[in-house]
Structure 1
Amino acid sequence: MQANTIRFKNKSIPVMNFTHKRSQMELLSTKLKEYELHFEFRRKLKMISMIEIIGDVAIFKYNDGTKLYLEVS
C-alpha cells in the first residue's frame, strides 16, 4: 500500500494507492483536471476525507461514511 497526497485547488487529500502503480496516480490527477470546472464535483470534493485507488477505480470517502466511485482509466 502506497500513501500519497494529491492537491485539488487549495485542498490536500490523502490517497491510499493499493495498486502500487504510479500510473494510477497520474490517471487520477488527469481525471481531476478534467473535472476542475465541474461545479457539482468540486462541491462534493470539499467534503472528501480520503481517496483509495483499487484497480481502475478511485473511491472518494466522505467523513460521514458515504463513498463516491470514479473510474480513472
Structure 2
Amino acid sequence: MQTIAIKFKNKTIPVLNYTQKRSQMELLSNKLVELELNFEFRKKLKMISLIEIIGDVAIFKYNDGTKLYLEVS
C-alpha cells in the first residue's frame, strides 16, 4: 500500500493506493483535472477526508462514513 497526498484547489487529501501502480495516481489526477470545473463535484470534494484507489476505482470517503465511487480508467 502506498500513501500519497494530492492537492485539489486549496485542500490536501491523503490517497491510499492499494494497486501500487503509479499509473493509477496519474489517471486519478487527470480525472480530477477533468472535473475541476464541475461545481457539484467541487462542493462534494470539500468534505472528503480520504481517497482509496482499488483497481480502476477511486473511493472518496467522507467524514460521516459515506463514500463516492469514481472510475479513473
The interval holding the TM-score normalised by the smaller chain is over 0.9
Residue equivalent to 2:5: 5
List runs of 5+ in structure 2 lacking aligned partners.
none
Query: Equivalent residues in 2 for 1:24-35 (5 A)?
Result: 24-35=24-35
Superposition TM-score, scaled by structure 2 size: 0.99
The structure 1 segments of at least 4 consecutive aligned residues displaced by more than 2 Å after TM superposition are none
**Deviation string for 1:2-60 (max 9, x for gaps)?**
00000100100000000000000000000000000000000000000000000000000
Report the equivalent of 1:64.
Answer: 64
Give me the TM-score of the superposition, normalised by structure 1. Answer: 0.99
Percent identity between matched residues is 81
What are structure 1's unaligned runs of at least 5 residues?
none
Q: Going by fraction, where is helix more abundant, 1 or 2?
A: 2
Aligned residues: 73
